[in-house]
Amino acid sequence: MTEDSPALEIPPPREDRPPMKANLLNAMQKANTSLTPLFPYMHPGAIVPTGALFIGQPGKDYGQFYHHNTVDEVIIAFVAEGGNLRTGQLYNGGRVHGVNSFMKDQTKAGSFVLFSVTQRQADPGEVQTEAISLLCEACRKPLFKAEFDATPGPEARELEHPFPSINAPPERLAQFNADPAQRECPECGHDNPPFPLHQWGWTDYAEQSKVMARAKQLLLAAGEG
Ligand SMILES: [Zn+2]
């Protein structure tokens, strides 16, 4: 280090963005969705750690989809019993990665995986895009793709900006589920089953996000009255 090359320094956090910590076990004990952000910070450049929990039981079927993301995601298998990743294993799935239960046998009682999935939001001025896609279960040809803008707003926080990865898909997948024409494979004619949305909890997250954002507005209005 010389006077001409100053040390790289990370500035201290802003006063209105204090450092936060969470216990992943406590967080996922009561999360309403299989993937949930642990902290409210969603702004450009923010590190966004989430928790992910899948639980095996007889008859369970999480299905499978592909997640497309223009930012990287780093997965740590915190604890797994019967998982495809072992406890402590680190994994980067790439910008397009398959998502399923991550269990060897999702119908086996006692199996579970508890992951953290961490992404770094796009920097200011950059576009962040995500998509969810499905393949035909019979011939593996692309069947469905829902793309959505996930560009973080300048001061985005989770309450006003629910995590797009879980907030955007339910509506589009519900349309897919309700429309047999969309589920019929144009290649092989296979009648694909509806995506098992109810296993993922995303609909609850989207609904509770709407209600809590409205609750904040009402609370602020009451304070002004
Ligand atoms: Zn097909």
Residue 202 lies in a domain: yes
Show Cβ contacts of residue 195 under 8 Å, excluding neighbours closer than 6 positions.
63, 65, 134, 173, 176, 177
Residue 6 lies in a domain: no
The pLDDT tens digits for 103-160 are 999 999 999 999 999 999 999 999 999 999 999 999 999 999 999 999 999 999 999 9
Report how far ligand 1's centroid is from the alpha carbon of 138 (Å): 5
Q: What is the CATH number of the domain that holds 43?
A: 2.60.120
Q: What's the pLDDT at 8?
A: 87
Q: What is the mean pLDDT of residues 72-99?
A: 93
Q: What's the pLDDT at 5?
A: 64
Q: What's the pLDDT at 174?
A: 96
Range of the domain at 168: 24-224
Q: What is the mean pLDDT of residues 5-15?
A: 84
Report how far ligand 1's centroid is from the alpha carbon of 118 (Å): 33
Is pLDDT of 4 > 90?
no
Name the domain count of the chain: 1
The pLDDT tens digits for 20-75 are 999 999 999 999 999 999 999 999 999 999 999 999 999 999 999 999 999 999 99
Is pLDDT of 1 > 60?
no
Percent residues over pLDDT 90 in the chain? 93
Residue 17 lies in a domain: no
Q: What's the pLDDT at 133?
A: 97
DSSP state letter for 205: H
Residue 81 lies in a domain: yes
Report how far ligand 1's centroid is from the alpha carbon of 201 (Å): 27
Alpha-carbon distance 85 to 172, whole Å?
30
Report how far ligand 1's centroid is from the alpha carbon of 102 (Å): 24
Residue 1 lies in a domain: no
Q: What's the pLDDT at 2?
A: 52
Is pLDDT of 207 > 70?
yes
Alpha-carbon distance 186 to 203, whole Å?
28
Strands 90-92 vs 73-81: parallel, antiparallel or unpaired: antiparallel
Report how far ligand 1's centroid is from the alpha carbon of 191 (Å): 8
Helices 169-178, 202-224: inter-axial angle, 10-degree rounding? 130
Please, which pLDDT band fits residue 7 given cuts at 50, 70 and 90? confident
Residue 8 lies in a domain: no
Please, which pLDDT band fits residue 94 given cuts at 50, 70 and 90? confident
Residue 205 lies in a domain: yes
Report how far ligand 1's centroid is from the alpha carbon of 185 (Å): 5
Residue 7 lies in a domain: no
CB 202 within 8 A of CB 177: no
